[in-house]
Amino acid sequence: MNPRSAPERLLSVLAAFDHEHTALTLTDISRRAGLTLTTAHRLVGALTLWGALERDPSGTYHVGLRLWEIAALSPRGLALRQIALPYLEDLYEATHENVQLAVRDGCDVVYTEWLSGHSSVGVHIRVGARWPLHATGVGLVLLAHAAPAFQDTYCTGPLTSFTPHTLTDPSSLRRLLADIRHTGIAVSDRQITDDALSVAAPVRGPGGEVVAAVSVVVPQQGAQVGVLTPAVRVAARGISRALGWRPAGRGEA
């Protein structure tokens, strides 16, 4: 096995942190990063000095604000969120349900904003969370508008099941993706939890490419998809226009 390069070791320290491990001791970082304690100490010191990590009085390390500042420059992260937020807030006011904005990163959907609704529906989402594309409304939208070669590869790969309703049949998934491209709307019914349904629509960039997806998540029981769909469409189109998109024809959502 080739030894890891210095940049790889540095990145492994940052990768030691995740949503389940937001506060780590030096020993924790060493173990999770697969580094000797001496190497971890040196790298953590450099990252702390730069501001990527912060050390509290107990000696525990947390992700530092310097990384937040860098992340704010991402056109698909905080920059997109700032443009989208007024439209997400309008969607929330229209529905008073969970509202989400997400982008694709490889085979995952990554949530860049989430406004919590009043319903008690179980939503396992937080900003920065990842889920497989096929299992969420926003993920289905992004998968439906990905390159055909990517779709073929994804559909033939392992499709993780989370509930009995999770779509894991490749042929059924392909048919659903074609329907989403035709209608401009994805409905994900009890795919992550058995009590939630989401309605999602694509967000387009200046050239018409799908750069993100917006959705509303409601309790599955009593969900009115026909009522939610226009509201989600309006939010998605509003964000798209704010990004510089102009519809070329009536067929584009």
161 neighbors 168 (Cβ within 8 angstroms): yes
121 neighbors 219 (Cβ within 8 angstroms): yes
**pLDDT for 17 beyond 60:** yes
Nearest to 113 by CA among 91, 144, 145: 91
Other residues' Cβ atoms within 10 Å of the Cβ of residue 248? 8
Domains of the chain: 6-70 (1.10.10.10), 75-242 (3.30.450.40)
56 Cα distance to chain centroid: 29
Nearest to 32 by CA among 17, 10, 52, 19: 17
**pLDDT for 216 beyond 70:** yes
**For 117, how many CA atoms within 13 A lie in the half-sphere containing its CB?**
25
What is the pLDDT averaged over residues 58-76? 81
Pairwise CA distance, residues 131 & 125, whole Å:
9
Q: What is the pLDDT of residue 1?
A: 47
Percentage of the residues of the chain whose pLDDT score is greater than 70: 91
3-state helix, strand, coil in the chain (%, to 5): 45, 20, 35
pLDDT range class, residue 224, cuts 50, 70, 90: confident
What is the pLDDT averaged over residues 121-127? 62
Beta strands in the chain (DSSP E): 53-55, 61-63, 98-105, 108-115, 130-132, 186-189, 196-204, 210-219
**For 13, how many CA atoms within 13 A lie in the half-sphere containing its CB?**
29
Pairwise CA distance, residues 101 & 120, whole Å:
20
pLDDT range class, residue 44, cuts 50, 70, 90: very high
Q: Which amino acid belongs to residue 52? A: A
* pLDDT tens track for 148-207: 999 999 999 899 999 999 989 999 999 999 999 999 999 998 888 888 899 999 999 999
Q: What is the pLDDT of residue 121?
A: 61
Q: What is the pLDDT of residue 252?
A: 53
**pLDDT for 137 beyond 80:** yes
**pLDDT for 111 beyond 60:** yes
Pairwise CA distance, residues 59 & 80, whole Å:
35
47 neighbors 53 (Cβ within 8 angstroms): yes
Here the tokens at position 93 are: 């006011």
Q: What is the pLDDT of residue 172?
A: 94
Whole-number average pLDDT of the chain: 88
Q: What is the pLDDT of residue 79?
A: 73
